[in-house]
Amino acid sequence: MPKLIETGTESPAKKTLHELVAAGAREMIASAVQAEVTAFLKEKEKLLLPDGKARIVRNGFGDERSFVTEAGAIKLRMPRTRDRDTTTSGWMQSI
């Protein structure tokens, strides 16, 4: 699951409604991203290297990214995947 960035040390009982909504939005986005990565890996699980190991694997987390929501900016570290086939150049972001 993407790592959540905590923004303080207040107890949940002292949080404002806005902070609770932001925390809920953060959890929902983290869950959605995790589900997407899991589905992607499941789709690619039949791609194997010559030694029989998985070609597409998880590769930790990337840099922290911000998402702007109605509840405010939410920061998450996004999970990464890696294509271990060295004969291909791999995926490049098109934006």
Average pLDDT over residues 43-58: 93
**pTM (2 d.p.):** 0.67
Radius of gyration of the chain (CA): 17
Per-domain residue ranges for the chain?
3-83
Q: Can you list the positions of beta strands (E) in the chain?
A: 3-4, 56-69, 72-83
Tell me how far apart the alpha carbons of residues 40 and 51 are, in angstroms, rounded to a whole number: 22
In contact, 56 and 83? CB cutoff 8 Å: yes
Average pLDDT over residues 29-53: 92
Residue 36 pLDDT grade (very low, low, confident, very high; cuts 50, 70, 90): very high
At 7-21, the pLDDT tens digits run: 556 555 566 888 888
- Looking at residue 46, its amino acid is K
Between 55 and 3, residue with greater pLDDT: 55
At 52-93, the pLDDT tens digits run: 999 999 998 988 989 888 888 889 898 999 999 876 645 444
In contact, 29 and 67? CB cutoff 8 Å: yes
Question: What sign has the CA pseudo-torsion 38, 42, 47, 50?
Answer: positive
Tell me how far apart the alpha carbons of residues 6 and 57 are, in angstroms, rounded to a whole number: 27
